[in-house]
Amino acid sequence: MNSLQAIVDHIELFYNNHLQVKKVGSDFKEQLYNFATKDEKYPIVFVVPVSVTPTENTSEFNFDIYCFDIIQKDRANIITILSDTQQILNDLYVYYMDSNDYNFDVVGVPSFLALNNDLLDYAAGYVMNITLTVNDWTDCAVPLE
């Protein structure tokens, strides 16, 4: 696994199999609203590629991964939403740290930022910033003439 596509596929597969998550997607952040509002399935997870840093033998891929749920009108569920969405995101970190899959590693520790009244004022949750490192080697030749 040494491409952006492979990493995003792996993250999406994890969350598609997560029992709490109802919808998973990926794209630029500007597409998050369209993704979130096309139906009423929540909580959602949305993977946003942020940057890639190549080194001599590896590449570090940085992601913002969003998790949202719907706020009740009286906001009675806000702490539950924050607790659940942070835990859903943290589940990926814990899974990767405990995994025997050595195709990539987590760099450092992820950071979490709470989000309030997002997606047109009706959703709350967290965004997790996480960096994954993968080997740069490949069996494919550089496509030159």
Q: CB neighbours of 82 closer than 8 A, spacing ≥ 6?
A: 114, 124, 125, 126
Does the pLDDT of residue 119 top 90, yes or no? no
Inter-axis angle of helices 4-16 and 78-98, to 10 degrees? 120
Lowest mean pLDDT among 2-11, 120-129, 134-143: 134-143
Q: Mind listing the pLDDT tens digit for each residue in 35-54?
A: 998 888 999 999 999 999 98
Residue 80, amino acid: T
Q: What is the value of pTM for the model shown? A: 0.91
pLDDT of 134 reads: 87
pLDDT digits over 62-118, tens only? 999 999 999 999 999 999 999 999 999 999 999 988 877 767 788 999 999 999 988
